Amino acid sequence: MRAMVLAAGLGLRMRPLTLERPKPLLGIAGSTLLGHALHRLAATGVTDAVVNCHYKAEMVAAYLADWPRPRIRLAPEPMLLETGGGVKAALPHLGTDPFFVVNADILWTDGAVPALRRLSQAWRDDAMDALLLLMPVASSFGYAGRGDYRMAEDGRLARRAKDEAAPHVYAGVQITAGRAFDGSPDGAFSNNLVWDRAERAGRLFGLVHDGGWYHIGTPEALAEARLILEPVG
């Protein structure tokens, strides 16, 4: 059970808060955005995680220096590799089995069964190259876009056309396999390249999240999420 946590973004929309610390280290609900992701991974049984970093990488390294579990391998990026390039660069450390990828700019609360466990239970290695956790746009916190995907009855995903809206947004959590990156370019590229190729092959699937989901994109969204998630007194 291995995972990749994407923590290398610049956090430009979160300024001025990110002038002094990287976005994954912003505090909320008793931890940081990065800490919440790692705690959920550990609770699901993940033993090893790769965490990439770029902006204020030394602060991320210091924060993770004594992290108890999962075991952390830091992956500094002198030049940003984006979401897909960052995962591809970490593949030698992620092994040959499917693995989780989690964005460090979101926060979620679980339903009756933890979301990571639901993803793991739904994974079918013979049929899937990526399984994305999705959130209904109508109940997404901090998201004002037009959605990302439509989902068929069997769970297969289709990206919305440019001039359309879609009912689900990618929630920043997925299971994928190293084979999904075969033939992808070196250097920086988006995970969208991998997903679009998996979609064309009929191997891109989704699972709708049944808990809460918070896209922490701006200082205002962070403040509002804190009011919801942090008890008063």
Q: What is the CATH number of the domain that holds 68?
A: 3.90.550.10
Helix (H, G, I), strand (E, B) or coil at 19: helix
Task: Say which residue the tokens 């705690």 belong to.
Answer: 39
Is there a contact between 110 and 211 (Cβ–Cβ < 8 Å)? yes
Is there a contact between 5 and 38 (Cβ–Cβ < 8 Å)? yes
What whole-number distance in Å separates Cα of residue 115 and Cα of residue 100?
Answer: 11
pLDDT of residue 232: 61
- Longest alpha-carbon distance in the chain: 54
Domain count, the chain: 1
Amino acid at 210: D
* Alpha-carbon distances, residue 90 vs 46, 75, 87, 109, 149 (angstroms): 16, 7, 5, 27, 27
Q: What is the rounded end-to-end Cα distance, in angstroms, of the chain?
A: 38
pLDDT of residue 185: 94
Write out pLDDT tens, residues 20-75. 999 999 999 889 999 999 999 999 999 999 999 999 999 999 999 999 999 999 99
What whole-number distance in Å separates Cα of residue 85 and Cα of residue 134?
Answer: 22
Residue range 11-24: average pLDDT? Answer: 90
Backbone φ and ψ of 153, nearest 5°: -60, -30
Is residue 231's pLDDT more than 80? no
Record the tokens describing residue 46, joined without a space: 């993940």
Range of 223's domain?
2-229
Write out pLDDT tens, residues 114-157. 999 999 999 999 999 999 999 999 988 888 889 999 999 999 99
Neighbours of 58 (CB within 10 A): 10
Q: Per mean pLDDT, which range of 2-6, 37-41, 92-96, 194-198 is the poorest?
A: 92-96
Helix (H, G, I), strand (E, B) or coil at 199: helix
Record the tokens describing residue 146, joined without a space: 């037009």
Write out pLDDT tens, residues 174-213. 999 999 999 999 999 999 999 999 999 999 999 999 999 9
Helix (H, G, I), strand (E, B) or coil at 139: helix
User: What confidence tier does 233 reach under pLDDT thresholds 50, 70, 90?
Assistant: low
SS3 content of the chain, % helix, strand, coil (to 5): 35, 25, 40
What whole-number distance in Å separates Cα of residue 77 and Cα of residue 96?
Answer: 22
CA angle in degrees (0–180, nearest 5) for 218-83-104: 45
Amino acid at 133: L
pTM above 0.75, yes or no: yes
